[in-house]
């Protein structure tokens, strides 16, 4: 297992620390709230940071160089993400750069690459994801939104739910059934993209979640016309394309990054040291300190799993199914840390609107609610465990076939 930075990674780390320190405006740094809370920065607010990235060719670090990326390998991406979080830079709404962009690179036509990638790179167009439906989440292939042939393209009808950031998006990508009779059901699906701001037949209805933020939406499709040249990866080939995209989503999910957990642990320790209890502070409780040590060891485990995967990628070029471990282990660990913090903070951790609790407590309460979603988004913890059981541990399924596909 390789736990040290290569000379190239060490150079990148030092370089990033320098430009974050010297070039990123203070207003876009040290924003720990952005790690776990929702931030809706406007394109104008992002601009100074995008200018710094553009100057260094880092607008899309993982994209291949011919498409304007930096061509970073996974090891370099890990360093990039670690330093990004260490600097407290705001989280990107990353559907374009992390998900649909790489998918267009992998499966799109040359015309689609020319048309969309430059605009995704500069964040001129922001995307949102229309996969989940009221009756299709984990079992995504059961989706019932349909796209029927119409001259020059498709008419889309149906409903999506939990569409993060649809209200802020310029474009959407949706999965829809283009062959109603195909069996198995995965075979009749296509991935289509459309202009969400200028299309008739597309409406958005907000869902305000328990943390008080408007993050989710329901999206409705009523005879929405999408031209055929906006099908990505070919008609009825959407399941393959959707899975390319999901692979990018799982690997890039922030819950797998131990920097997040370290930051949350730091907050937990800070609160425990500050809050008065008896003659001293909450920190004096040996039971709490034991719990914190256990959480620290768990974060170390997450870091070492990541190193192991990093080593595997260096050898094989592929993270493999082990990347599912990040999703559920990292997500559950983050929840455990934030729950411990909430226990320490007491009543302040559940009340974010009334005085006398200050902004720190309000942020904590929102985070405690928000992090529940980390074991659901991008594939639930249970589904990730199934993948690990079958693909990594090669355990038999209910029929007794070891390592069998679902």
Ligand X SMILES: Cc1cc2nc3c(=O)[nH]c(=O)nc-3n(C[C@H](O)[C@H](O)[C@H](O)COP(=O)(O)OP(=O)(O)OC[C@H]3O[C@@H](n4cnc5c(N)ncnc54)[C@H](O)[C@@H]3O)c2cc1C
**Binds ligand X (CB under 6 A): choice among 131, 221, 260, 352:** 131
State the Cα–Cα distance between residues 346 and 234, nearest whole angstrom: 54
State the Cα–Cα distance between residues 52 and 180, nearest whole angstrom: 48
Which CB sits closer to ligand X, 83 or 249?
249
Strand pairing of 276-277 and 231-232?
Answer: unpaired
State the Cα–Cα distance between residues 304 and 272, nearest whole angstrom: 27
The answer to whether 25 touches 92, Cβ cutoff 8 Å, is no
Comparing CA positions, the residue from 218, 229, 200, 203 lying closest to residue 115 is 229
**Binds ligand X (CB under 6 A): choice among 71, 137, 201, 212:** 137
**Binds ligand X (CB under 6 A): choice among 37, 80, 373, 387:** 373
Which CB sits closer to ligand X, 162 or 194?
162
Asked if residue 376 binds ligand X (CB under 6 A), the reply is yes
Please report how close the Cβ of residue 319 comes to ligand X at its closest, in angstroms. 20
Which CB sits closer to ligand X, 14 or 207?
207
- And the tokens for 42? 């406007």
- As a whole number of Å, the CA-based R_g of the chain is 22
Find the part of the chain contacting ligand X (CB under 6 A) among 9-17, 40-48, 131-139, 230-238.
Answer: 131-139
Which CB sits closer to ligand X, 12 or 128?
128
- And the tokens for 404? 């069998």
**Binds ligand X (CB under 6 A): choice among 88, 380, 391, 397:** 380
Asked if residue 159 binds ligand X (CB under 6 A), the reply is no
Asked if residue 383 binds ligand X (CB under 6 A), the reply is yes
The answer to whether 161 touches 377, Cβ cutoff 8 Å, is no
Which residue number is nearest to ligand X in terms of Cβ?
A: 137
Asked if residue 357 binds ligand X (CB under 6 A), the reply is no
At which residue do the structure tokens 């690459």 appear?
113
**Binds ligand X (CB under 6 A): choice among 103, 112, 164, 257:** 164
Asked if residue 142 binds ligand X (CB under 6 A), the reply is no
Residue 4: CA atoms inside 13 Å, Cβ hemisphere, count? 2
| Residue 12: partners with Cβ closer than 8 Å, 6 or more residues away | 76, 79, 80, 83
Find the part of the chain contacting ligand X (CB under 6 A) among 29-37, 231-239, 357-365, 373-381.
Answer: 373-381
Which CB sits closer to ligand X, 6 or 186?
186
Burial 236-268 (b: 16+ CB within 10 A, else e): bbbbebbebbbbbbbbbbbbbbbbbbbbbbebb
Please report how close the Cβ of residue 136 comes to ligand X at its closest, in angstroms. 7
The answer to whether 204 touches 161, Cβ cutoff 8 Å, is no
**Binds ligand X (CB under 6 A): choice among 386, 391, 392, 397:** 386
| Residue 183: partners with Cβ closer than 8 Å, 6 or more residues away | none
Find the part of the chain contacting ligand X (CB under 6 A) among 3-11, 161-169, 294-302, 343-351.
Answer: 161-169
Q: What is the DSSP string of 117-182?
A: HHHHHTTSS-EEEE--BTTBSSSGGG---EEEEETTEEEEEEEE---TTGGG-SEEEEEEES-TT-
Comparing CA positions, the residue from 259, 243, 256 lying closest to residue 329 is 256
Binding mask 10-49 for ligand X (x = CB under 6 A): ----------------------------------------
Which CB sits closer to ligand X, 132 or 271?
132
Asked if residue 158 binds ligand X (CB under 6 A), the reply is no
**Binds ligand X (CB under 6 A): choice among 377, 389, 392, 404:** 377
Asked if residue 219 binds ligand X (CB under 6 A), the reply is no
State the Cα–Cα distance between residues 193 and 171, nearest whole angstrom: 7
Find the part of the chain contacting ligand X (CB under 6 A) among 104-112, 144-152, 270-278, 369-377.
Answer: 369-377
Find the part of the chain contacting ligand X (CB under 6 A) among 4-12, 75-83, 288-296, 370-378.
Answer: 370-378
Which CB sits closer to ligand X, 6 or 386?
386
Which CB sits closer to ligand X, 150 or 397?
397
* Contacting positions for ligand X (CB under 6 A): 129-132, 137-138, 162-164, 373, 376-377, 379-380, 382-383, 386
């Amino acid at each position: 297992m390789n736990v040290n930075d290569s000379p190239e990674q060490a150079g990148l780390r030092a370089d990033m620390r320098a430009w974050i320190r010297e070039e990123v405006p203070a207003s876009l740094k040290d924003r720990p709230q952005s790690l776990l809370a929702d931030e809706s920065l406007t394109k104008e607010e992002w601009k100074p940071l995008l200018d710094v990235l553009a100057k260094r060719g880092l607008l899309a670090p993982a994209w291949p160089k011919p498409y304007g990326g930096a061509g970073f390998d996974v090891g370099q991406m890990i360093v990039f993400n670690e330093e990004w979080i260490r600097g407290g830079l705001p989280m990107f709404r990353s559907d374009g750069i992390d998900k649909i962009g790489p998918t267009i690179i992998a499966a799109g036509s040359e015309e689609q690459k020319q048309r969309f990638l430059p605009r995704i790179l500069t964040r001129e167009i922001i995307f949102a994801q229309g996969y989940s439906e009221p009756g299709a989440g984990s079992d995504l292939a059961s989706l019932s939104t349909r796209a029927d042939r119409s001259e020059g393209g498709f008419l889309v009808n149906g409903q999506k739910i939990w569409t993060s950031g649809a209200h802020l998006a310029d474009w959407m990508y949706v999965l829809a059934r283009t062959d109603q009779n195909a069996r198995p059901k995965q075979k009749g699906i296509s991935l289509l993209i459309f202009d969400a701001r200028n299309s008739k037949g597309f409406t958005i209805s907000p869902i305000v979640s328990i943390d008080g933020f408007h993050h989710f939406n329901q999206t409705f499709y009523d005879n929405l016309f999408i031209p055929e040249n906006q099908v990505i990866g070919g008609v009825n080939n959407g399941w393959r394309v959707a899975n390319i995209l999901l692979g990018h989503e799982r690997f890039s999910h922030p819950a797998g990054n131990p920097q997040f957990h370290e930051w949350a642990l730091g907050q937990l320790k800070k609160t425990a040291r500050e809050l008065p209890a008896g003659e001293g502070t909450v920190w004096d409780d040996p039971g709490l300190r034991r719990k914190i040590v256990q959480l620290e060891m768990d974060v170390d485990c997450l870091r070492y799993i990541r190193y192991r995967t990093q080593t595997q990628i260096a050898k094989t070029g592929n993270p493999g199914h082990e990347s599912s471990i990040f999703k559920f282990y990292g997500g559950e660990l983050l929840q455990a840390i934030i729950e411990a913090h909430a226990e320490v903070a007491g009543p302040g951790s559940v009340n974010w609107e009334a005085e006398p609790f200050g902004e720190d407590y309000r942020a904590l309460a929102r985070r405690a609610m928000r992090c529940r979603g980390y074991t659901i988004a991008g594939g639930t913890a249970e589904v990730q465990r199934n993948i690990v059981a079958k693909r990594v541990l090669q355990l038999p399924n209910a029929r007794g076939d070891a390592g069998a596909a679902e």
